[in-house]
Amino acid sequence: MKKEMSVTTVRYRFARPPGVSDWKRFNRYRYHVRRLLCSVHPSPTCIIDRSVFEDVARTRTTLSIFPNMHTLKWDAPIQSCMVFMHENVTDLELYPLPNEHESPYYRDVVARMPNISRLVLHANVATYPVSSLAAHPVNMIRDLKSLREVVLPPDIVPTAGLVKALSDLPNLQTLAIDYRPLSRHPPMLLPESLITRPSLSKDGFRSLSFLALCICFKDAIYLFNKTSAAKQLRAINLRSPVVETLSDVHNLLLVIGKFIPLLEVLDLQSKRNNHAFADFPVTPDCVVDLETIRPLLGCRHLVLLHLHLPQLLYLKEDHVEEVAKAFPYLASLLLLFQTTAVPGFTLNATSLLHLARHCPDLGNLVLFIKVDASIPIHDSTCPTFQNLVVFVPGYSDVEDPATASLFFSRLFPPDVMVYADTGVWTPPLIMPRAVVKIIQTRRDKWAKVKELLPLFMQARVEERERMKGVVQSGGHGSDARKVVLRTVVLVPHSQN
């Protein structure tokens, strides 16, 4: 290889075309290659000239250059990778160019690599964003009957033809259409007729176990009702490009609870209103309560439950207890709904006790709560989280940081991470000044909680060590009770 230097880039090409003797020396290495990852632009200042691939294709001495290769990742024109295609390839990643959407080379992919089980189509920088797949890529997906996993690029609209092609794959287990966060891109333009409602057979998606799509909840309801996919699914991740209504949220949860009782992962996210922090009337159609999510209570195998919806959350403490009892294996819980200053729409911190008691595996918790003076900071019988790693309170309301820190030091394990937003913050322009003031005050209080909590945690550890020493020294129960060392830390109450 030789380097050709320019002002901004280095271009690599063969100094001379490879000869028979070169291929003979290379022969001993080619059987050891299992994965081939290639990019025409491996860095902004480095380019592999396309003549390299042309010389390889013209001078090679065998049809299969890497006969034991099973993974091919190609960030270059599809035509240039044809020389490396063979039937032993099972994992393929492509970066289609703008002029390749209608390329006949997709037929070569099927003919030369019929045993592909994993297909990933990336959004090439030159083609981004992409609204829908052209006919040739869809036909390629339809003809690759061994596919078990399909990952498509962001902003792909799941058209009827694409969904139908995917539903007919007999071994498809994982379907994911990658997406960017909904808050960072404009809403997807949907035609009047719902585009993801093709004519599906009852055995469509018959092997599907993981589904991640960016579609409306109504379309998801249609898919679950029309196919047998619901019976096999173990993980659902849906992002809606529209602001979902309460009725569509409830209907989706009804279908999931009815058809997918063995579901283990549920992650639902809806686009949210632009006036998320503005004052607006609280009406029944903008409140998610226990009755809304009750259909999910039958999915007792849930390990992850994330609901990021535009409605307000209204759960009472006994409702949280019922939810906690229904999901004993829960490891990650996110109930992140619109923030509001409306009284009565915030859970009291004592609700966390039910999660600690009934969900011993809970490791990640994201929940808005209200920490007031009524929390039991001196109750030694309170349950504790055994495996909690991350707690995210959002802009939860804290009456007194010292009291909150003392309560959390009893409730949380010593190594828990409390992720409160206390860094530099620029409020949205549409946010009313009164709301900005409330949020800023809460941020300041959570900064104090993060400062005090490690001190209380350390005091708890020392207290337990002293109690352990009393017991090990042979003290009787009555003696141990006399040495009940409660941690008392004198911290001035913060001003509200």
> DSSP states of 375-440 as a string?
S-TT-TT----SS--EEE-TT-EES-HHHHHHHHHHHS-TT-EE----S-----TTS-HHHHHHHH
Q: CB–CB of 26/67 below 8 Å? A: no
Tens of pLDDT, residue by residue, the chain (496 residues): 777 777 778 888 898 999 999 999 999 999 999 999 988 776 767 888 888 989 999 999 998 999 999 999 998 888 889 999 999 999 999 988 777 767 788 999 999 999 999 999 987 654 444 556 778 888 999 999 999 999 988 767 777 888 889 999 999 999 998 654 443 343 444 433 345 577 777 788 889 999 998 888 998 898 888 876 667 899 999 988 888 999 999 999 999 999 898 999 999 998 876 544 545 556 666 788 899 999 999 999 999 999 988 888 888 888 999 999 999 999 999 986 555 545 556 788 888 999 999 999 999 999 888 888 777 766 667 888 999 999 998 888 888 899 899 899 889 998 889 887 666 677 777 777 877 888 888 888 988 998 899 998 888 778 777 777 777 776 555 554 444 444 444 444 444 4
Q: How far apart are CA 180 and CA 200, in angstroms?
A: 28
> DSSP states of 257-271 as a string?
HHH-TT--EEEEEE-
> DSSP states of 169-221 as a string?
-TT--EEEE----GGGSPPP---SS-TT-----TTTTTT--EEEE---HHHHH
Residue in 489, 491, 483 with CA at minimum distance from that of residue 466: 483
Helix-, strand-, coil-residue percentages of the chain, each rounded to 5: 35, 15, 50
Q: How far apart are CA 28 and CA 21, in angstroms?
A: 12
Q: Is 474 left (phi over 0), alpha (psi -120 to 50) or beta?
A: left
Q: How many CA atoms lie within 13 A of 376 on its CB side?
A: 11
Q: How far apart are CA 427 and CA 372, in angstroms?
A: 26
Can you list the domains of the chain with their CATH numbers?
Answer: 1-178 (3.80.10)
Q: Is 147 helix (H, G, I), strand (E, B) or coil?
A: coil
Largest CA distance in the chain: 91
Q: How far apart are CA 253 and CA 292, in angstroms?
A: 8
Contacts of 302 (CB under 8 A, 6+ apart): 263, 264, 265, 266, 296, 327, 329, 330
Q: How far apart are CA 237 and CA 326, in angstroms?
A: 21
444 by Cβ neighbours in 10 Å (0-12 / 13-18 / 19+) ranks as middle
Q: How far apart are CA 476 and CA 482, in angstroms?
A: 10
